[in-house]
Amino acid sequence: MAMLEVKDLNVYYGMIQAIKGISFEVNQGEVIALIGANGAGKTTTLKSVVGILKFDAGEIYIDGESVQAAPLVCKKKIAYIPDNPDLYEFMSGIKYLNFIADVYGVGANQRQEKIRKYADLFEITADLAQPIAAYSHGMKQKLAIISAWLHDPKLIIMDEPFVGLDPKAAHILKGMMRELCDEGGAIFFSTHVLEVAEKLCDKVAIIKGGKLIRCGTMEEVKGDDSLEDVFLELEAEV
């Protein structure tokens, strides 16, 4: 079953076409990476999927619901972590997590259990009472990840989620991503870290100049080559 279905997506910035008729699916249980050079259209695609950016043509469905026709229904089913999480820095970490839990109607028991579980995993429990303004970039990233997992989303969309994470935290996040998919969810994320995509993902989509130039299972996309070799070869083509 498709958790995310993108059909003939087109996005313009003024007269410039940033996304050029891309189509793909993210099915239940799948981890899919979107890779491409800077300016290729990764962030624009993700922002269109989560409803932050209006698109000019095409359709986007989340768990069968149209992002345009039923935006609130779709937003309840997803979580989004941008490449530079814009958190409420005047809040403490725990107040921010409770605020997000309130937005999604997460019950007291469930939120306490999840906050305790993930804060302990990421080793930031002792820091939750501190103002977010005092957090490092990596700590803010960990807080954003915890907030995304609070309401049991069916689909998590992340823009460069491993940037700023130390190796241990990156390993924990990979485990959380796989666990969510094993429980029937799905993950769609962008990354520059091709080794992570190659080891973690079920499928990969390569975007260049606003077009999807390759999309499929890891075996279909790279064959016997490394993902890095395939990516660099495709980037070199005119």
pLDDT at 81: 94
CA 101 – CA 176 distance, rounded (Å): 19
Q: What is the mean pLDDT of residues 157-176?
A: 94
Whole-structure pTM value:
0.92
Q: Classify 238 as helix, strand or coil.
A: coil
Is the distance from CB of 204 to CB of 223 less than 8 angstroms? no
CATH topology for 2-236 is Rossmann fold (3.40.50)
CA 131 – CA 167 distance, rounded (Å): 25
pLDDT above 90 coverage of the chain, percent: 79
* pLDDT beyond 90 at 234: no
Q: Decide which of 230 and 45 is more confident.
A: 45
Q: Classify 144 as helix, strand or coil.
A: helix
pLDDT band at 29 (very low <50, low <70, confident <90, very high): very high
Residues 6 or more apart from 37 whose CB is under 8 A from it? 208, 235
Residue for token digits 């935006």? 71
Tokens of 122: 């990421």
pLDDT at 41: 93
Per residue in 116-164, pLDDT (tens digit) is 999 999 999 999 999 999 999 999 999 999 999 999 999 999 999 998 8
Tokens of 150: 């609070």
pLDDT at 158: 96
Beta partners for 19? 11
The DSSP symbol for 131 reads B
Per residue in 47-102, pLDDT (tens digit) is 999 999 899 999 999 999 999 999 999 999 999 999 887 889 999 999 999 999 99
Tokens of 186: 């799905």
pLDDT at 238: 60
pLDDT at 135: 94
Report phi then psi at 232, rounded to 5.
-65, -35
